[in-house]
Structure formats: structure tokens, C-alpha cells
Chain A
Amino acid sequence: MISTAHRLVNLEDLHQAMRQGRDLLYPSEPKIMIGTATCGLAADAEEVLHAVREEVANSKLPYQVTETGCIGWCSQEPLLDICIPGRPRVTYGRMKPGRAREIVRAIPEVKREWALAMMPGDENTLNGAHVNYCVPHNGHMDGLTAYKDLPLFKRQLRIVLRNCGIINPDNLEEYIARGGYHALWHALRKHTPEEILNEVKRSGLRGRGGAGFPTGVKWQAVRDAQGEPKYVICNADEGDPGAYMDRGVLEGDPHSVLEGMTIGGYAMGAHEGIIYVREEYPLAVMRMKQAIRQAQDAGLLGQSIFDSGFSFEIRVVKGAGAFVCGEETALIRSIEGKVGEPQQRPPYPAQHGLWGKPTCINNVETWANIAVIVQRGGDWFSQIGTAKSKGTKVFSLVGNIENTALIEVPMGTTLAEIVYEIGGGVPNGRACKAVQTGGPSGGCIPADKFDLPVDYDSLNQAGSIMGSGGMIVMDDHTCMVDIAKYFLEFLEDESCGKCFTCRVGTQRLKEIVTRISQGEGKEEDLDLLQDLSWLVREGSLCGLGQTAPNPVLSTLRYFRSEYLAHIRDRRCPAHRCRELITFAIDPVLCNGCGACVQICSGKAILGEKKKPHIITQAQCTKCGACLEMCKFDAVLVH
């Protein structure tokens, strides 16, 4: 649904839009919501949406059907929510079109056997408001767990994700109904730029793009810098494998980023903003462009916003999806149409950025925090988190984890709480071995260090980094040498290639780690890995090179014995490195069912029906398919 808001000039207009938005958010007839962020679409949410629309149209049901962003429960996508006035919102997971139709037909009955959870009301961290959908404990939902009692959501505090999965991101009024653009109004009409800047400083907010630089300090530098015009940029490049926090925000709550950037522009004296998004995020690009149009139509972008005399415009620039273009100086060059190679700092972008002008670059998540800080005050924000890391952080929890999820927790939450409580631990009864934070620049933290609080400084000390918030959980079937190799492969492709240390260093690191994974390594290779890692870290220009050895260094630090097993015993303890393992069939356990023969792509398994089978080693490609296939545990790996 495209908004048809007229120009909003004063607080009364904003309240008017808020009332319209409330009617959409909490309509008087039943509302059906389908999560159609990229994670939902990947699980065929489109089909579910289509089926529901058809069902409603065909049966002429008086229901509203809307889309929403990602609420973070990615393992249960596609999600379908039914909101009936006076009742809690009920969530159904893993929807198929047929089942969705049945659920719709059953309204107002709840299909309890398929329901995942219910939401008796929503909270809004932006203004502290609670909206109750129903009288609490009215008995409607006995047996269904409330969201806030689910382990996945219990510990979460959703500031950045406050609207994701709640509002329809296509709809400006729904954003305003949740208190959106009020902070902008207050900033422009009631505060000076200095006051806003001080509020951001007081909040203690640090950049969420990786390095954790204090946002207020950066803003001050841009404000004080000589040169006009000034620019603000939103860094939505998000290139880490397994990370999709920024995508979740852009797709689920685009206006929160626009509002943050506009407030930032006011505080720093900039009049132009640019959102740099990778082209691989077509939905995010579409949603942002649409949100910009809506904001322009409503006068929330453009000339003299809220009649304050302050003008601001935002446009979207698409990047071609190079990891290194997330680095701020490379990003600037990419916007300028040049090759995305990082540049020597100083001069910092704050002094000499886009087109040589003072430029403030912040991450999507950083921007999405701004409206809340302005609305509730820096002091409120700084109560959340730890002494040096304030507020919350969004993580994408992926890998060998029960609940693949997009979560937001206060800084200082421990890894154990995140992995075991929120994430539900490792599936299939396996043990958790380590978690990789910070993407390719980060490191692996072993399970026995999981009491580590997650904040910038603790993670640094443990040899990893916060990074932008990807968290990859690994079970005991993960080989750490293999993991190091995986990240080096990523980095040798994604380094811009300018620095000799980074370009050649990552290739050589990979060469050595590969050698070790093939059982050809020598013990001296570990010293060489240390030396070379040191050189790459010390000698490279930008953050990519300086952190590229982290995956090697952290695995060497915590899992040295695993490297030694590969070298000394030519053995891969996790049975992952193909060159070092052999598959065999236990003649006692094998009952000759032949299931493995069908699955083996190398035609390596021979045997008569009902007789023990054998694997011809020369033909075996070591893919492990037979191991997965055999129901009698007869396939052995050495």
C-alpha cells in the first residue's frame, strides 16, 4: 500500500498522520501479516502471500492483508501472523500456501496446533509506549507462549529493530504511528544542532559498522570541519558472509534510517545524504527508494522540513557488492565512480571525504539508533549496555544453531546467553565448539570462553572483533583449519589487491593453511603463519588487510592442537579435511540395504543386496553422502 500523505508541516499534521497510521496498524477488522523480507521471500513467502490474498478475495472476507519486515525468527520463515481486534496476535511458522488458506478460513478460530507464539501487545522502545491488543490473560490463548516468554525473545531489547516485523515497511503512516519522525520534529523545531550533537555524545553511541568509533566525536569533527557542502553517508554495503542485520533494517524499517540521517544532517550542517547499498539487495534498494519518495511527498525530506528552514535530500547509490567497498574511503571512491580502493587516512573523511568535502559515514544500525537517542535522551540510552559499550547490538545468528535468527541484545550479554539461551544451542545433540564473530575480519572464540560479555573491548581482547554483527556458530564437526582456510579464500578474492602485504599475504596464508589441511604441513609452518600474519596485520593500509589474519591467529591461539594433529599425525580430528580421512563400512553393522550405493556419486560402493558392502578407496570422492545416508551407522570415518 502506497501512502498518500500530504505535506506534514507541524505537530498537528504529524498527529493526524499518526491517527491514520494507527488505523492501519490496528484496524477494526482482522489483519493478516506476512513477513516478506528477503529471508521470508527465500522461503517462498511470496506464494503464501498470494494464496492468502486469493483466499480473502475469493471468499470476500473483510480482512486486511499486509506485508511486514523480518521479526528475526528466520528459522521459522515464512511467517504468517493473524491479528484480530481484542485478541493477541498469533504467529504461525513454516507456512505453506495450503495451510495458510486453512488458517485464514478458520479466522477467528486459532489453529492452535500450528501456532508458534502469541503477542498480547507491543512495546515501543522509541517512546516507551505499550499497546495492549487484548485484556491480559483473557483465556483466549491458553497453551500458546507469549513472545516475551520465548527464550529467543526474552533477553532481547529491540531498539534498532523496534519496528521490524511490526509495521508494514511500505507505509509511512505506520512508521509515524509508532512515534516515527517525532524525534525529527523535536530536533528541528525545539533544539539547536549543538544540543542534538551533545545528546548523541552523551548517549555514548559507538559506530555499529565494526570499529566502534564514538559517533558523537565523529559528528563533531564533521561539524567543525572547513568546507561546504558537507555530506552524510549511510554505509549499507554489508559484505560479511552470513551477516544480514543491515538488510533487515533497510527492508523492515526504512524510515528509521532516513530519520536518523536527516537528524544527523541537521546536527552536522549537511544538506545531502547518500545511502550506499549493495546491488545484491534489490528489495532493500526498492524499499529505500520508495521510502525516500514518500518522505519527499510528505515534506519530511526536501526544502525547509517542518518549516524549520532546514533542507535535506537523500539518494541511493548502488554498489557492485565488493566487500572492500564497505571500507569508508573505498566506499567514497566508489560513489565518485572510481575504483574502490582504500586510501591513506589521514586525511579522514570527516575532513576530506566525498568530492573532497567533510563527510560523515555511519552504519545503517548506527543511523537507526539516532531517533531513539533524540527522543528518549542520551542519558536513557547510556543506561543500556556496559561501561564502554552503550546500547544494543543486532546480530545475525547463523551456522550450526537451533534458532537461526536476527536478534538484538543489550551490549554485555554473554556469548553463552546468546548461543545457548537465545539461539537454543547446537542442533542434533552435538556440542558447540566455537563461535565466529566479526566476519572475515573477526576470530573464533572457543566454547569454554563463552562467559565473555559481548562488547567492543572484550571481543578485541579475545582476538576477535565485534564487526558488523555476524555470528557463526560451529559444532564439534567443524575443523578449525578448514574454517581458517574458508575465510582466507574469501579474503584473497575480496582484498582490493593494492597492498602487496594484503594481496600476496592472504594468498600465501591460504597456501600454507591448505597445505596443512592436506597433511603436507610442517611444524615450522606454524611459525611462518605467525610471522606472515604479523606482517599482513602491521603492513597493510586498510582495515581489511589489518584484520585479515584474525581467522588464522584466533584459531591458532585457541585450537593449536588441531593444527598439530593435521601436521604430526596427518589426522583431521573433526573428520572434515578430505585428504586426511577415509570412509569405510563396518561389515557387522551393514545389513546390505544398498541405500549408500544409490547416493554415491563416485560409484565407489560395491556389494550384493543383503550382504556387507565395501567402499573402493580409489573411487571415493570423500563427499560423505553415504555417512549421511546410512541409517545403521555402518559408515565409519577415520
Chain B
Amino acid sequence: MVHITMNGLAVEAECGSSLLEVARFYNFPIPTLCHEDGLNSYGACRLCLVEIGEGPKSKLVAACGYRVEEGMKVRTNSMRVQRARRLLLELYVATCPQSKRIQDLASEYGVRQCRYQPVDGQPGAPWDPKANCIQCGLCVRICAEQMMAGAIGFSGRGKSRHVARPFGMTSEQCRQCGACLYACPVCELRCQASTAESLLCNGCLNFSPVCFQSYSDAMCFLEPCHTCELSGPFRHEVGIKVHALHDAGQKVAPSTGELK
């Protein structure tokens, strides 16, 4: 056991546990996008930033990958943390405005402006795997760590980095299980309300939120995608995820999810 101070509270934590685990145990909320229990922490989304240390030596670190150390002081909601979260979520909204998860987080953590241009196309455009993937790596990790397949991975670096199959083909390792699609935090539920004037939805701050339907495009690495084949008749139903790439020829109407 190690002893740390979290938000002024003296708490005990198990050796080797991460700051995120400790914070969750004591019910301090920390938003995350790239962390799932049961998968190794990766530290890609940076949303779980917390402040450690004191005075000029204090700094922000990702709680999911930072192990507790005896005597350390942690703040999960300092001004600095709040500012970082807000600026970060503003950047996320600009990257993937269709994601309901991101729009919800942005509303929750007080993002009231988005000063960036949309990455690709207009707000409300179908999910584009190249432009809208936030590269949280959950799909890659679930494939490698839970499905023991390792059929997908990151390719390239810097601005050309992306999730890819080896040589762009489905490998024999891929069991077509669909775990990647299941893991993706940003392509499941579609935010309906972001409009051309503003990338930011903030619909939940209204009395009558407009986000009640989900989009019918999504990202998966299956070929052919079982979900798409099976879900043909159901594709307009709420919550069904369909392969974006298969829809390439068929534009999806942003507001209704209906095929044009």
C-alpha cells in the first residue's frame, strides 16, 4: 500500500495501481477516451490528464498510465486540469464532430466554442475513417489483447499515422469477430445536431435535445462486414452500426440516417 493525497484527501492505494484506478475507486470522475478496463493503458487520448506535484514542479500527466508513488499529491480537477480538458475537447470536437460521445463530453466539461475548421467535409458528413478517427488505439488493443489476433495496427507516424490492416488486406489472423467495431468510442452513436455554423452541438444543454437517432455508418475493419450484411433490413433502426466504407457510394442523410 502507498499513501497519497488526492484532491486534498489522504488516501491509500495499492502499489502499482494507476492514478486513474485510484481516482475511480474513490469516485473522483476523470473523463477518458482511450481507456477500457481489461486492456493495457496506452495514454493516447490525453483526456485523463491530472495534475501532480506542487508549486513550480507540478505538471499534468495522463492518469491512466501513471503509477502511484508514495507521498504524491494529485489533483483531478484543478484549474489547470479543467483548462486542459476544455481545450482538448474543443480539439476533439473539431476532429470528430459526429461522435455523440465527444459532443456529450464537450457539453459536460463546459466547452462553449470550437474555433477550428472542420477537418474534412461539412459537419454532419458521414464518419470518415481517415479524418475522424481519434487514434485512441482501442480497436488495435482489443484485437491484440483480448482476441489474441493482432490483425490490425497503427501504420505511419505523425500526420500520416492511421489504423491499418497489414498491407491493406485482411490477414488470416482476423477472425471477423467485430471486436474493433465494438471497441471504437467515437463511431457508434452519431451526434445529430452539429451544424455548419458550429461544429459544437451542446444540444443536451437545451430542453429538447435533438440527438435521438444514430447514424448508419461506422468504422470497422471487417471484409466483408458481417454486421452490414446481416443488418441490411435493419439499417435504419436505432443503434445499428454499419460499415462506412460499404456506404461509400451511398450518401447518408445526416439528419435522418436515411439513404439518399
Contact = CB atoms under 8 A, between A and B. Distances in A.
Interface stretch (B22-30, B38-46, B221-229): B38-46
Q: Chain A interface mostly helix, strand, loop or mixed?
A: helix
A497 B159 contact: yes
Nearest to B153: A339
B135 A346 contact: no
Contact of B157 (A495, A507, A528, A534): A495
Interface stretch (A68-76, A131-139, A536-544): A536-544
Interface stretch (A35-43, A108-116, A498-506): A498-506
B80 interface: yes
A493 B44 contact: no
Contact of A499 (B44, B115, B157): B44
13 contacts: A322-B157, A324-B157, A344-B43, A492-B158, A496-B158, A497-B158, A499-B46, A503-B159, A528-B115, A535-B88, A535-B91, A538-B80, A539-B60
A508 interface: yes
Nearest to A532: B87
Contacts of A541: 43, 46, 62
B146 interface: no
A142 to B, nearest CB: 57
Contact of A501 (B66, B67, B88): B88
Interface centre among B67, B87, B157, B160 (most CB of A within 10 A): B157
B241 to A, nearest CB: 23
Contact of A498 (B43, B69, B117): B43
Interface string B33-64: 00000000011111101000000000111100
A35 B47 CA distance: 53
Given A346-B69, A500-B92, A539-B88, A493 B43 contact: no
Contacts of A538: 49, 59-60, 80, 84
B159 A501 contact: no
A190 to B, nearest CB: 40
Given A339-B154, A511-B117, A539-B60, A497 B88 contact: no
Contacts of B117: 511
Contacts, number: 92
The list of the 4 closest CB pairs from A to B, nearest first, reads: A497-B161, A535-B87, A344-B65, A493-B158
Contact of A508 (B47, B84, B91): B91
B156 interface: yes
B116 interface: yes
B134 interface: yes
Interface in B1-16: none
Given A346-B69, A540-B46, A535 B84 contact: yes
Nearest to A505: B91
A492 B160 CA distance: 9
Interface of A: 322, 324, 339, 344, 346, 491-501, 503-508, 511, 524, 528, 531-532, 534-535, 538-541
Contacts of B157: 322, 324, 493-497
A503 B88 CA distance: 12
B154 A500 contact: no
Interface string B66-110: 110100000000001001100110011011000000000000000
A498 B49 CA distance: 15
Interface in B142-187: 154, 156-161
Given A532-B87, A532-B91, A500 B66 contact: no
A344 B66 CA distance: 7
Contacts of B42: 498
A514 to B, nearest CB: 11
A496 B42 CA distance: 13
A491 B157 CA distance: 11
Given A499-B44, A506-B159, A532-B87, 20 more contacts: A344-B65, A492-B159, A493-B160, A495-B157, A495-B159, A499-B43, A499-B46, A500-B88, A500-B134, A501-B88, A503-B135, A504-B91, A528-B115, A534-B83, A534-B87, A538-B60, A538-B80, A538-B84, A539-B46, A541-B43
Contacts of B158: 491-497, 503, 506
A524 B88 contact: no
Given A494-B157, A495-B157, A538-B80, A500 B67 contact: no
A500 B156 contact: no
A344 B80 contact: no
Contacts of B47: 500
B148 to A, nearest CB: 18
Interface string B115-137: 11100000000000000001101
A539 B161 contact: no
B83 to A, nearest CB: 8
Contacts of A493: 157-160
Interface centre among A500, A501, A524 (most CB of B within 10 A): A500
A508 B91 CA distance: 9
A321 to B, nearest CB: 12
A501 B156 contact: no
B132 to A, nearest CB: 11
Contact of A500 (B59, B69, B91): B91
A324 B135 CA distance: 18
Contacts of B161: 496-497, 503
A497 B62 contact: no
A539 B45 CA distance: 10
Nearest to B117: A511
A547 to B, nearest CB: 14
Contacts of A491: 158
B107 to A, nearest CB: 19
Nearest to A540: B46
Contacts of B46: 499-501, 539-541
B99 to A, nearest CB: 13
Given A497-B159, A497-B161, A501-B88, A508 B116 contact: yes
A398 B69 CA distance: 45
Given A346-B69, A538-B84, A539-B84, A497 B91 contact: no
Contacts of B160: 493
Contacts of A535: 84, 87-88, 91
Interface centre among B47, B59, B67, B87 (most CB of A within 10 A): B87
A445 B65 CA distance: 36
Interface centre among A494, A532, A539 (most CB of B within 10 A): A539
Interface centre among A495, A498, A506, A508 (most CB of B within 10 A): A498
Nearest to B115: A528
Contacts of A511: 116-117
B64 to A, nearest CB: 9
A602 B74 CA distance: 61
Contacts of B60: 538-539
Given A507-B159, A508-B91, A540-B46, A497 B84 contact: no
Contacts of B91: 500-501, 504-505, 508, 532, 535
Contacts of A504: 91, 95
A497 B135 CA distance: 9
A497 B69 contact: no
A496 B43 CA distance: 13
A324 B65 CA distance: 20
A497 B156 contact: yes
